[in-house]
Amino acid sequence: MQPRILIADDQADVLAALRLLLKREGFDVASTTSPAGVLDVVSREQVDVALVDLNYARDTTSGAEGLDLLDRLRGQDAELPVVVMTAWATVDVAVEAMRRGAQDFIEKPWDNQRLLSVLRNQVELSRARRARQRLASENALLRQHAGGDFIADSPAMDEVVRLARQVAPSTASVLITGEPGTGKSALARLVHEWSDRAAGPFIGVNLGGLAEGVFESELFGHVKGAYTDARADRAGRFEIADGGTLFLDEIGNVPTPQQARLLRALETGEFERVGASRTQRADVRIVSATNADLPALVADGRFREDLLFRINTIEIRMPPLRERTGDILPLASAALASRAARYGRNVTGFEPAAVSALLRYPWPGNVRELNSVVERSLLLAAGPGITVADLRLAPSRNAPPALEEMSLEDAERALIRAALRRHDGNVLEAAEALGLSRSAMYRRLEKLGIKAGPD
C-alpha cells in the first residue's frame, strides 16, 4: 500500500509544491489548509504521517496554533506520527513541539532529501508500531483460544475433512454446525491453516459470551473516551484479523439489534470504532459456528435471513462424538499426553477396562467432556495407567454396566448370553466356547434363568 501523508499549510503554493514532490516519490497525499481540516481528515481516514505547519493565521509566528493542534491530535489518535514545519523555527518552539508529541521538525524552506528521509522513516516506524500492537492483541486472543491437534480418524469425519480441504483455499464463508463441544473451533482453525491466509492471524470471538453493551466494542474497537471505561484506543476483532480469518463462534446468539451492523461489516468489510466517525476497512475471511437451528430462528424472527445467507456459503456439520467412536481413544490419548506434560505427571495410558469404559460411554458433552474427564482422571490416578475408577464416568441409562462393575452372577449371565448370541442359540457350541461341559452349561442356564437359544 502507498504511504498516505496528510499535509497541512495555509499557503497554497506550499501545498502544491509538497503534493508534487510527495506524489512523485510514491506517496499518497491528502491536504488541508487549517487545523480543523487536519482533525477532520484524521477522524475519517487512515493516515500514516501528518506533516503540519505550526502557523496558520496571518502574521502569526508563535507556533501556538500548531502546538494546540498537536495536543488535539494526541487526544484523537495517539499513534499518529506528526512532523511539524515552520519558517519561524526557534529552539524553544522545536523543543515544545517534541514535548507535545511531534516526532520530528522541518524548517522552511525545506531540503527535499531530508524531508523525504524523515517521512519515510516515520512511515516505517508507524507501520511497525501498529503491527506490533496488532500482533500483541492477536497473541493475547490466540492464547484464549489455544486448542489441541485436530483428530479425524473415524469414517464419520471423512466428509468433514473432505469439505474442509475443498473450501479452505477459497474466500467463501463457512458455517460449522454441531452439538456443543464437538470441536467446531478446532475445525475452524484447520480451515484457516489450509487456506491461503494461513500466514495471517486467526482471531476467534465467542459471540454468545458478549454482553450486548460491549458487543460493538469487542468486534469493531473503540476510541479513547467513547464511554466511561474507554481510557485508550482499542482495536476490535475485525481490525486485528485483517488479512486473516475471523472465527465467529455461537453466531446464533448475536442480539437482534446488532445483526444489521454485523451484516454490513461482513458484506462490505467496513466498520467504525465505537465513538469514531472514520470508516475503516478490513479484509477478513469469515468462519462461523453454532449449535442453534438457524433456519428455525429465522422463522421465529430472531435471526436475519440475509445474515444467514451471508455466513453459510458452505455448511459443514461436525458429528457428535457418539457417531465417531473411532476417534475416542486417539482424542483421549492426545489429551492425556498434553495434560500429563502440563502437570508433570508420569501417567502414560489407560488400563484395558478404562478403554472399554471410554468406548461404551455415550459422551453427551462430546470432545469437551472427554477432555475434562481425562484431565480429572490424570489428577486422580495413583499409578501409570488410568483405571475405570479414575474416570468416574456418570452412569448412562442407555449403556449396560461394564463387566468389572457387575456382580459375579450378573457377569456370568452376560457372558453366557453373549456366547449364545455368537453361536445362534446352539447350547453345545456356546458351552464349548466357554470351556463348559454340556451338563454344566445346562445347570447354569437353569440357575441363571436363561432360556436356551439366542436372545
Q: Which residues 6+ apart lie within 8 Å of 87 measured at CB?
A: 55, 107, 108, 109
Instruction: Give the residue with greater pLDDT, 212 vs 252.
Output: 252
Task: Render 328-395 in DSSP notation, one character per residue.
Answer: HHHHHHHHHHHHHHHHT----EE-HHHHHHHHHS--TTHHHHHHHHHHHHHHH--SSEE-HHHH-PPP
Q: What is the pLDDT of residue 440?
A: 86
> Do 314 and 326 lie in a common domain?
no
Q: What is the pLDDT of residue 145?
A: 41
Query: What's the chain's Rg over C-alpha atoms?
Result: 33
Q: What is the pLDDT of residue 441?
A: 87
Tell me how crowded residue 407 is: count the other CB atoms within 10 A of its CB: 9
Distance CA 113, CA 9 (A): 20
**pLDDT at residue 273 is higher than 50:** yes
> Do 100 and 163 lie in a common domain?
no
Q: Is 396 among the domain residues?
A: no
Q: What is the mean pLDDT of residues 258-270?
A: 90
- Quick one: what percent of the chain has pLDDT higher than 90? 39
In this predicted structure, which of 60-64, 76-80, 130-134 has the lowest mean pLDDT?
130-134
Residue pair 453/416 in contact (Cβ under 8 Å)? The answer is: no
The angle formed by the CA atoms of residues 70, 76 and 79, to the nearest 5 degrees, is 80
Q: What is the mean pLDDT of residues 75-98?
A: 78
Q: What is the pLDDT of residue 88?
A: 63
Averaged confidence pLDDT in the chain: 85
Instruction: Give the residue with greater pLDDT, 210 vs 40.
Output: 40
Give the residue among 442, 76, 93, 127 at the shortest CA–CA distance from 276.
76
Q: What is the mean pLDDT of residues 345-369?
A: 92
Instruction: Give the residue with greater pLDDT, 393 vs 79.
Output: 393
How many structural domains is the chain composed of? 4
Q: Where are the alpha helices (DSSP H) in 25-175?
A: 35-44, 64-76, 91-99, 112-144, 158-167
Q: What is the mean pLDDT of residues 162-185?
A: 94
Distance CA 185, CA 206 (A): 10
Distance CA 90, CA 101 (A): 17
Q: What is the pLDDT of residue 6?
A: 93
> Do 313 and 246 lie in a common domain?
yes
pLDDT band, very low/low/confident/very high, at 455 (cuts 50, 70, 90): very low
Distance CA 14, CA 85 (A): 11
Q: Is 335 among the domain residues?
A: yes
Residue pair 353/387 in contact (Cβ under 8 Å)? The answer is: yes
Please indicate, yes or no, whether the overall pTM of this predicted structure exceeds 0.85: no
Q: What is the pLDDT of residue 362?
A: 93
> Do 215 and 90 lie in a common domain?
no
Q: What is the pLDDT of residue 1?
A: 64
pLDDT band, very low/low/confident/very high, at 227 (cuts 50, 70, 90): confident
Q: What is the pLDDT of residue 396?
A: 56
> Do 377 and 298 lie in a common domain?
no
pLDDT tens by residue, 97-119: 888 888 888 888 899 998 999 99
Q: What CATH number does the domain containing 342 carry?
A: 1.10.8.60
32-62 exposure pattern, b = at least 16 Cβ within 10 A, e = fewer: bbbbeebbebbeeeebbbbbbbbbbeeeeee
> Do 160 and 291 lie in a common domain?
yes
Q: Is 274 among the domain residues?
A: yes
Q: Is 399 among the domain residues?
A: no
> Do 188 and 61 lie in a common domain?
no
**pLDDT at residue 264 is higher than 50:** yes
**pLDDT at residue 444 is higher than 50:** yes
Q: Is 400 among the domain residues?
A: no
Residue pair 32/67 in contact (Cβ under 8 Å)? The answer is: no
pLDDT band, very low/low/confident/very high, at 135 (cuts 50, 70, 90): low
Q: What is the pLDDT of residue 59?
A: 56
Q: What is the mean pLDDT of residues 337-366?
A: 91
Residue pair 191/167 in contact (Cβ under 8 Å)? The answer is: yes
> Do 123 and 8 lie in a common domain?
yes
> Do 57 and 10 lie in a common domain?
yes
Q: What phi and psi, each to the nearest 5 degrees, are found at residue 291? A: -105, 5
pLDDT band, very low/low/confident/very high, at 349 (cuts 50, 70, 90): very high
Q: Which residues 6+ apart lie within 8 Å of 400 measured at CB?
A: 360, 414
**pLDDT at residue 274 is higher than 70:** yes
pLDDT band, very low/low/confident/very high, at 310 (cuts 50, 70, 90): very high
Q: What is the mean pLDDT of residues 185-194?
A: 92
Q: Which residues 6+ apart lie within 8 Å of 69 measured at CB?
A: 35, 38, 39, 52
pLDDT band, very low/low/confident/very high, at 142 (cuts 50, 70, 90): very low
Q: What is the mean pLDDT of residues 405-416?
A: 75
Give the residue among 159, 185, 189, 150 at the shortest CA–CA distance from 323.
159
Q: Is 411 among the domain residues?
A: yes
pLDDT band, very low/low/confident/very high, at 47 (cuts 50, 70, 90): confident
Distance CA 260, CA 350 (A): 50
Q: What is the mean pLDDT of residues 163-186?
A: 94
> Do 191 and 304 lie in a common domain?
yes
Residue finishing a domain among 319, 349, 378: 319
Domain holding 439, by residue range, is: 406-448
Helix (H) or strand (E) holding 410: helix 408-422
Residue finishing a domain among 289, 319, 349: 319
Q: What CATH number does the domain containing 81 carry?
A: 3.40.50.2300
Q: What is the pLDDT of residue 148?
A: 43
> Do 279 and 341 lie in a common domain?
no
Q: What is the dihedral of CA 5, 10, 12, 16, to 10 degrees?
A: -20
Q: What CATH number does the domain containing 259 carry?
A: 3.40.50.300
> Do 217 and 242 lie in a common domain?
yes
The grid coordinates of residue 447 equal 440357575
**pLDDT at residue 62 is higher than 80:** no
| Grid-cell match 446464533, residue found | 252
pLDDT band, very low/low/confident/very high, at 324 (cuts 50, 70, 90): very high
Helix (H) or strand (E) holding 415: helix 408-422
Q: Is 146 among the domain residues?
A: no
Q: Is 191 among the domain residues?
A: yes
Q: What phi and psi, each to the nearest 5 degrees, are found at residue 247? A: -100, 115
CA 150 → CA 147, 157, 182, 184, 362, distances in Å?
9, 11, 11, 10, 21
**pLDDT at residue 430 is higher than 90:** no
